[in-house]
Amino acid sequence: MENHQEKSESPQEEGLADEKKALSGYAKYTGVAFQMMAIIGAFAFIGYKIDQYYAHKTQWVTAIACVIGVCFSIYQTIRSLKS
């Protein structure tokens, strides 16, 4: 007769697996936050440079670019969190 014994993880190994899973989640959400900041910052910088180039007194292009950047970053965040 064959003796089949299943390997069970020790409590320490289970704790490490849970900790790795938690750190993976933290890294994922931290990456999403930095991605949002980078997108919004890039759009704001482009809008600022356009306003600077055309010497606008009121920086409407910067404001509009920031709003577009926020919308695009939210879209990217939703898309990345679905997968």
pLDDT tens digits, 27-79:
888 999 999 999 999 999 999 999 999 999 999 999 999 999 999 999 999 99
Higher pLDDT pick, 15 / 6: 15
Domain map of the chain by residue range? 31-82
Compute the distance between CA of residue 36 and CA of residue 76 in angstroms, rounded to an integer.
8
Instruction: Specify the pTM.
Output: 0.74
**Tell me, what's the pLDDT at 9?**
62
